[in-house]
Structure 1
Amino acid sequence: MERKINLLLLLFALIGGTIGFALGEVILGSLLGEWPRFIVVGLYFGVIALCIGLSCLIAELISPRLSGTSWRQRYTGLSWMLLVPATLVLLFVVSGLLQLTYGLSFGGVKQVKDIVLVIDNSGSMAETDPDNERFTAAKQLIDKLESDKRVAVVQFSDTAELLQPFTNLRTQAEKDSVSAAIEALEPTDGGTNFTLALEESMKIINEKADSNRGTMIILLSDGFSDSSIDEQIAAYQEQRVVVNTVGLSVVDARGTELLQYIADSTGGSYYDVTEANGLTLAFQNIYDTIDDRTLVTERTGVNADSTLYMLLRLLSLTIIGAAIGVSLGLVFDNRFLAVSFGAGGIVGGLLAGFILDSGLSGRSFWDPVTRLTAVLVLAAIISLFTFVVPIKENTGSKLRGGGRKIGSGSSSKSMGRPAKDSRSHGF
């Protein structure tokens, strides 16, 4: 058993990790939100493992310092056969299962699947939103909602009315029907009553058939309501329903404070929009905060600072790191390398988990840099761990066919001379 380092393998592992990261970012950008998250995350880590495994295999073919020359001479065909199932397939399964677990809701917090749009339709909106940009923004948001989401629409002024009950959005026709209901809205001359708006929204939440689906409110208004809302806020807090608020050209400072209070009290966010054409971006930013957790993206919503999900991410990345390390050992058909790389994967995966959990922030530039850093740290530690956990060449005493190797198990003397020590001495 010897401690060795193949610097060429380290270099190639970093190159492979970079290529895998680039391909993984394409997968995230094109499939996340379109395909189930466990499939996307499984593909992400599967592709990274495949690229690292391929690069390490090429490095050992050029300079077999870890697996030995006997592997290069006799077993490279088997390594090529094992490459895809041992990396891509294995990590797809492991990462997909871990993502399924990470996506579960614990501690009574339900994953948001239903959205209630609460739209101010009072008389003052004719001045702050003369072109009905709020309706356009609502329709654009509905078009972007994933197929597993449902939406309901409430309009309010000095009264509140359910415009559209919870509707599935699996097809474009269903989305179009909701958009048509919003398009048919006519401005009123009424005032602004947040109490009735919140009561009507809570009513439809309590009446919906599937109570296991988490709900989020998006409330848009341009004014101030002097009615008491403490009772309504307590109901939202009890059911852990987040209310995000949008203030459009709010002139009265009390209106801004009230909308901010509603959001803060329920764990939501307040968005101040000065021009009506900025409502689309505000709605999109709110939708992006829905807690659709993945192991490689920012954790948002009520679980953004959850210790439980932080630990779950660290554990998941540790398991993924170990799986990548073991997969490399399988590619080389060497149990000693599997143990060494696997141990390195545990350490590297834990560090990668810390990097992701502390570095992901939702920013379009910084998040890819964070993921790249995590991948490179993981690949480097796996490659270097053969200097920590000793290995030896997997030469064995028998051939694959069951026959004994020439010279294997022979006497320590041959023709009167000591037999040569055939062990590899590399560092």
Structure 2
Amino acid sequence: MTPLTLIRSAAALMCSCLFPSAAWAAEAPRAPAPLRAAVDAAIRPLMAEHDVPGMAVAVTANGQSWFFNYGLASREQATAVSENTLFELGSISKTFTATLAGYAQEQGQLSLADHPGKYLPQLRGSALDKASLLHLATYSAGGLPLQLPEGVSDLDGAMRYLRDWKPDAAPGTVRRYSNPSIGLFGHIAARSMKSDFAGAAEEVLFPQLGLQHTWVHVPQAAEADYAWGYNRANQPVRVNPGVFDAEAYGVKSSAADMIRYVQANIDPRRLAGPMRRAVEATHAGHFEVGAMTQGLGWEQYPYPVTLERLLAGNAQGIIMDANPARQLASRQAPTGPLLFNKTGSTGGFGGYVLFVPSKKIGIVLLANRNYPIPARVKAAYAILAQLAPARSR
């Protein structure tokens, strides 16, 4: 057995004790009528307005979970959505990348203060090597673009581009959302573990988080559960491969697994020590960017939070533009309740996850349509109002 395989076997045994089996989703009790009404009121009009074929919604409160399934995972095959349907998570995958890196740091295999050239000789002495791994993780390396340029189709090409890249700003001064930035971060994290990202995620990370139906590469045995996404032309699509795709937007998961993931973030004490500390590390805020604080994967807000602030933190300008960033000292870290969230999209899928650890509540929205982010935020906020009515300042 390889070291990763041994770790995976131990993790699976441990998680069988810490987490219920996959069957728990099917045995979940019926949702309270007011919650069912709130979810229906938020989701049904959204699906009609944006022609969303199917959605899986999961809600947790005080350790209890409920599932709400709508529409079709495949229009062509008339397959109904269930809590076990696999959806592409898009950039929600970045929260797993951050967690894997936190785990590698807990194992002494990397430090967020390190620089890329320590792990990738091709980048030593480059402008990018002045940035730290923390800067890569928080999109603050100096203005890396949202995507790699056309024509960069393999890792060697990506390394050449990153070696020659010239920053627009000093590390830590601007935040520009970037798949290459966190993709490189995840690549380095896996490399520090002597693995590729998919192997480290599927053999170490997912099992230790208790996720039994979450994949980078969906195996043949799970293909029947993999939904089809639908693009603007209503054609069935799946995510295209690319450099750093697994690290930045490549995870596929179900509502049942994602609410389990949310519960692990709400109460990491259920996890073994290194993974618990890795999850907790993703909850630290590092840069203040407009209405939100950028952490590792997750973005955060003081709670209670207004809908207007949540929309501002998820606005198009935050995603597409370079924004001034102010690094937070550890002593400036918020001490009060926080709301964590992350959106994710691919060509045919759109997702949104939020949770409030202090209230022990969380929401997962998964859809096989890339519909507008404001609609996701508003729908989740309406459901949040049912879970925690005293929500606004």
TM-score w.r.t. the length of structure 2 is 0.21
More strand by share: 2
State the structure with more CA Rg: 1
More helix by share: 1
